[in-house]
Amino acid sequence: MKLIMTLFLRALLLLTAAAGAAAILLAGLSVLLSEHIAVTSAGALAVFSAALLGWLVPVQIIDWLKLIRVQRRWKRIAFPYAVTAIQTGMFAWYVTTVASGISGMTMTMSGVIITTAALIILSRTTYTAMLRSVRHMRQPKLRVQHSEG
């Protein structure tokens, strides 16, 4: 039970940090690029950041496409890039849909592109840093026992 609570609290902390990072990023972009991204209320910023967490489920479903076996060599090389292009396009559509549904936020087309690119770069950088920090925690899978005799 203690392990489940620890995992739950860590997941909640990670999701809160992700929403906060997205809010800070969007607030910074709206200050720097006020002609492309306009955020008029903190509530709109919080709703948009929380709505971005809703993208976690569809991105995992789209990522399952990478599990499809591809036989031909050139298709096997190109397929992961095609899946990434699908993910990026669907994420841009999702950001546009969410931003248009929030009354305290307006974005131009270039603002959507800049926001999408910034969020993708932030998430890739965070994912890479997370993998580096966890890499040393892996346990060896094979244990060698020495026998005396």
Is pLDDT of 143 > 70?
Answer: no
Model pLDDT for residues 19-71, shown as the tens digit of each residue: 888 889 888 988 998 888 888 888 888 888 888 888 877 887 877 777 778 78
Q: Give the pLDDT mean for 123-129.
A: 79
* Number of structural domains found in the chain: 1
Whether 2 is covered by a domain: the verdict is no
Whether 91 is covered by a domain: the verdict is yes
Distance, CA of 124 to CA of 53 (rounded, Å):
15
Whether 129 is covered by a domain: the verdict is no
Which domain range does residue 98 map to? 25-118
Other C-beta atoms within 10 Å of 5: how many? 9
- Give the model's confidence band at 146: pLDDT under 50 very low, under 70 low, under 90 confident, else very high: low
Whether 16 is covered by a domain: the verdict is no
Whether 11 is covered by a domain: the verdict is no
